[in-house]
Amino acid sequence: LRIILVGFGTVGQSLARIIHKDRERIVDDYGFDPQITTIVDSRGYCQDKNGLDLAAALEAKERLGTVAKYPEKGRRRPTASRIISTSEGEVVVESTPSNFKDGEPGLSNIKQALTTGKHVVTVNKGPLALAMPALLELANHKKLQLRFSGTVGGGTPFLSFASKCLPGEKILGVHGVLNGTTNYILTRMENSSLGFQAALREAQMKGYAETDSSNDVQGFDTAAKIVIIANLIINRRLNLHDVEITGISKVTPQSLRDAKASGAKIKLIGRISESKATVKPEEISATDPICVPDTLNALTFSTEHAGNVTLIGKGAGGEQTGSAILRDLVDIRGRYTI
Amino acid sequence: LRIILVGFGTVGQSLARIIHKDRERIVDDYGFDPQITTIVDSRGYCQDKNGLDLAAALEAKERLGTVAKYPEKGRRRPTASRIISTSEGEVVVESTPSNFKDGEPGLSNIKQALTTGKHVVTVNKGPLALAMPALLELANHKKLQLRFSGTVGGGTPFLSFASKCLPGEKILGVHGVLNGTTNYILTRMENSSLGFQAALREAQMKGYAETDSSNDVQGFDTAAKIVIIANLIINRRLNLHDVEITGISKVTPQSLRDAKASGAKIKLIGRISESKATVKPEEISATDPICVPDTLNALTFSTEHAGNVTLIGKGAGGEQTGSAILRDLVDIRGRYTI
């Protein structure tokens, strides 16, 4: 299986590290040998038909800032989409940063990959949030796989749960906490009476929030996950513009205290009901299973026969997301014996 | 698929009702037509090679107390195990009451079914708690299926979750709340300062506890589920005698108040760690995901890569357990195209 890895940030590097470290186990457990033959980052790319030396690629990135400095086979200034179309490989792994305005560069990368006959594993939520129905159709039309386990829940299998563990169940709706950064901020505001800005700064200092955390705080990250769940699990053809979105920046310590006095907490809830999809701060009973603390994520599936079933786990983390990509690769390999 | 249904209490009747009501949907969705050809209860049995009239069987049971009164084809005083061995059919569904002393009559029924070449779906925890390794070996030796989705979690897929949704993950241990009756009692004792006996009576009045609820209260029901999980999910060959068991009858309102003062709750926790398996009341932080109220069940899987993942849902209910049996039947049918 030859992999073209586009985007070499935390998640891309984590995948490279897992494949480098666990190659023997992967070959033993799954019977296939994943070869990363191309890596593209924002400043360049490196390529080796026989499989890159991942230790060298990681070192070039860490020490010199770009894979363009990979020994001998590194090059500067690529256009990712040209490299995707001209490189040999069975799968493109798309891990450039999520962009919820126009989905770029991920959207073009994914289209280019599918158009030129390559399966896609993406952890980039932007293209899915904005164009998931169209991308699924393109993949379907080309008889290619478009996988995205790592976009929702990291290592917690929110997406596969419904299809694999609730067969024959109709999912009537979902609701839950899908963003660890905002959940951490709200938990800290409640427990320490910090204001929103102070709690955000603390989250940034602890590495739970990025420097630009506006996609988390304004609710776009949660909304993108809601779009992915709606399309995949509830068969509802939504995109980001169909979701009513309110972020958490106006939640005050006072409103959290008021909620607490009535046995409730305020959580940023993503929700798909019969009639609509929303992301907004909601008061939730403290004994509701989705009322999880800190950076945890939680999702309740409302089912026809089994009632409400809730899944709780870590929402993210480079290693978890890297493992999710590996699961997708294993799955694609299993279906196509590439 | 011809089914021999042994035991016709809440769960057995619920299965008959689901098949009677949803036959068309089952045929459409799964492409097979489940026929119940024999029903055995404690007082008699009824049999029709072409499939029983389930409405008539349910009416005989409800109005006259036994399927022995089924029109024309009902008979009194059977030995279940003789009927199992002499009747034609591909699957025996075992739903007699759980007995944690010697596992009977379920244990003999399951052995008889496997010995005479029939697949088994059981919702009876007694035989599994006492002899699961041996029963799995017998089924394996005979190349037959022994299924038991309905024994743990009713409609909540605790058992299939680990195998289907965490592929490639090593499960290091589990812990959680696996009995709705005791969880309801503890919740009521905490919220209303009821004593144990008063809370038990309330649970019985509301139908959350049976008249003889000693298996729940003393922890045997939870321990049986722990044994099933250990054998199936963690590949640990335990039986009931390997589990350290303490029930909830000595939990006091005062101890619950003390726990609450330190931000905790007392829950009856089943736990499998590296070294042992236990069932006992434990103090759990109120913000821990397994700290679920009322009759809910919750199980945390400690995994190597994804960290802790928790699944929460209803633990029981006739309809849910009936659906779980149907899932097992669908699965057996799929594997063997009987």
Strand partners, B308: B302
- Whether the Cβ atoms of residue B172 and residue B304 lie closer than 8 Å to each other: yes
A22 close contact with B: CB closer than 8 A: no
Query: Which positions in chain A touch B310 (Cβ < 8 Å)?
Result: 310-313
Q: What is the DSSP string of A164-216?
A: HHSTTPPEEEEEEE--HHHHHHHHHHHHH---HHHHHHHHHHTTSS-SS-HHH
* Closest residue in A to B315 (Cα–Cα): A306
- CB hemisphere CA count around B121 (13 angstroms): 26
B260 close contact with A: CB closer than 8 A: no
Sort residue B278 into left (φ over 0), alpha (ψ -120 to 50) or beta: beta
Give the separation between CA A58 and CA A66, rounded to whole angstroms. Answer: 9
Sign of the four-CA dihedral A105, A110, A112, A113: positive
* Closest residue in B to A157 (Cα–Cα): B165
What is the band of A323 on the pLDDT scale with cuts at 50, 70, 90? confident
Interface contact A306-B320, CB threshold 8 A: yes
Interface contact A164-B165, CB threshold 8 A: yes
B207 close contact with A: CB closer than 8 A: no
Interface contact A155-B296, CB threshold 8 A: no
Distance from CA of B103 to the nearest CA of A (A): 28
A247 close contact with B: CB closer than 8 A: no
Query: Which positions in chain A touch B164 (Cβ < 8 Å)?
Result: 160, 164-165
- Least CB-CB distance to A289: which of B160, B303, B312? B312
Q: Which residues contact A4 (CB under 8 A, 6 or more apart)?
A: A36, A37, A38, A40, A83, A84, A87, A89, A91, A92, A93, A113, A118
Distance from CA of A23 to the nearest CA of B (A): 14
Query: Which positions in chain A touch B314 (Cβ < 8 Å)?
Result: 306-308
For B266-293, b/e burial (b = at least 16 CB within 10 A) is bbbbbbbeeeebbbbbbebeebbbbbbb
Strands (E), A28-104: 35-40, 44-47, 74-76, 91-94
The CA R_g of chain B, rounded to the nearest whole Å, is: 20
Angle made by CA atoms A42, A46, A50, in degrees to the nearest 5: 145
pLDDT given at position B13:
95
When scoring A22, A165, A187 by the number of chain B Cβ atoms within 10 A, the one with the most, hence best to mutate, is A165
B34 close contact with A: CB closer than 8 A: no
DSSP B169: P
Q: What's the mean pLDDT when you consider all of chain A? A: 93
**pLDDT tops 60 at residue A337:** no
Residues A160-213 pLDDT 10s = 898 888 876 789 999 999 999 999 999 999 999 899 999 999 999 998 888 889
When scoring A22, A25, A309, A321 by the number of chain B Cβ atoms within 10 A, the one with the most, hence best to mutate, is A309
pLDDT given at position B334:
77
A150 close contact with B: CB closer than 8 A: no
Distance from CA of A287 to the nearest CA of B (A): 7
Query: Which positions in chain A touch B18 (Cβ < 8 Å)?
Result: none
Backbone angles phi, psi at A274, to 5 degrees: -50, -45
**pLDDT tops 90 at residue A331:** no
Residues of B designated catalytic? 225
| Beta strands at B119-122 and B91-94: parallel, antiparallel or unpaired | parallel
- Least CB-CB distance to B309: which of A30, A287, A313? A313
At B202 the three-state DSSP class reads: helix
- Least CB-CB distance to B310: which of A306, A312, A330? A312
Size of interface A-B (CB pairs under 8 A): 103
Distance from CA of A321 to the nearest CA of B (A): 9
A321 close contact with B: CB closer than 8 A: no
Mean pLDDT (whole number) for A289-309: 93
Distance from CA of A51 to the nearest CA of B (A): 24
Q: Which residues contact B220 (CB under 8 A, 6 or more apart)?
A: B100, B129, B214, B240, B245
Residues of chain B short of pLDDT 70, as ranges, are: 168, 336-338
Q: Within a 10 A sphere around the Cβ of B79, how many other Cβ atoms?
A: 13
Q: Output the pTM of the full model.
A: 0.90
Residues A230-266 pLDDT 10s = 999 998 999 999 999 999 999 999 999 999 999 999 9
* Closest residue in B to A324 (Cα–Cα): B306
- Least CB-CB distance to A168: which of B156, B161, B327? B327
B332 close contact with A: CB closer than 8 A: no
* Closest residue in A to B160 (Cα–Cα): A165
Residues A20-37 pLDDT 10s = 998 898 888 888 889 999
Interface contact A161-B156, CB threshold 8 A: no
Cα B330 versus chain centre, distance: 18
CA–CA distances in Å: residue B281 to residues A224, B191, B245, B318: 41, 17, 10, 27
B28 close contact with A: CB closer than 8 A: no
Distance from CA of B8 to the nearest CA of A (A): 21
pLDDT given at position A262:
95
pLDDT given at position B51:
95
Interface contact B154-A306, CB threshold 8 A: yes
| Beta strands at B44-47 and B35-40: parallel, antiparallel or unpaired | antiparallel
Backbone angles phi, psi at A317, to 5 degrees: 125, 135
Interface contact B327-A293, CB threshold 8 A: no
Residues A52-104 pLDDT 10s = 999 999 999 999 999 999 999 999 977 898 999 999 999 999 999 999 999 99
Interface contact B307-A319, CB threshold 8 A: no
A306 close contact with B: CB closer than 8 A: yes
Give the separation between CA A125 and CA A103, rounded to whole angstroms. Answer: 8
Distance from CA of B299 to the nearest CA of A (A): 10
Strand partners, B279: B245, B270
Which is nearest to B42 in space by CA: B63, B23, B66, B60? Answer: B66
Mean pLDDT (whole number) for A253-281: 96
Sign of the four-CA dihedral A108, A114, A115, A116: positive
Annotated active-site residue in A225, A260, A276, A314: A225
The ipTM, to two decimals, is 0.87
CA–CA distances in Å: residue A116 to residues A7, A12, A78, A256, B252: 19, 22, 18, 51, 68
Interface contact B330-A155, CB threshold 8 A: no
A194 close contact with B: CB closer than 8 A: no
CA–CA distances in Å: residue B107 to residues A180, B154, B212: 48, 21, 21
pLDDT given at position B336:
66
pLDDT given at position B337:
56
Q: Within a 10 A sphere around the Cβ of B261, how many other Cβ atoms?
A: 8
Sign of the four-CA dihedral B47, B52, B56, B57: positive
- Least CB-CB distance to B306: which of A156, A287, A292? A156
Give the separation between CA B143 and CA B119, rounded to whole angstroms. Answer: 9
Distance from CA of B124 to the nearest CA of A (A): 20
B312 close contact with A: CB closer than 8 A: yes
